[in-house]
Amino acid sequence: MTTQHGAAASDEHALTLARFLKFHHRAGTGGMAKHLIREGLVQVNGEPETRPGRKLRSGDVVTMEGWRETVPAQGAA
């Protein structure tokens, strides 16, 4: 199924790297999250990631300055 803008319905609420950092209180604002990511301070699955809009998948491991968090399965608390 697609939306009127052509995006897949499952992408509408996709968890981006910037949102993940903000949700986990690694950044106070979305702008700060984007800055940290673009500066190369964040890794996904051990690789530097500079795209704030990177869509995360279940099982991805996000690290930043000694902090580490695994993306849970969709719907998991």
Task: Place 77 in a pLDDT band, splitting at 50, 70 and 90.
Answer: low
Specify whether the CB–CB gap between 27 and 16 falls below 8 A: no
Question: Where do the H-state alpha helices sit in the chain?
Answer: 17-23, 30-38
pLDDT for the residue numbered 13? 64
pLDDT at 71 over 70: yes
Q: What angle do CA 58, 44, 60 make, to 5 degrees?
A: 15
pLDDT in tens, 37-48: 999 999 999 999
Which tokens go with 36? 């940290």
SS3 label, residue 30: helix
Reported as a single tens digit per residue, the pLDDT across 57-67 is 999 999 999 99
pLDDT level of residue 2 (50, 70, 90 thresholds)? very low
- What's the CATH architecture for 15-70? Roll (3.10)
- pTM tops 0.95: no
Q: Domain residue spans in the chain? A: 15-70
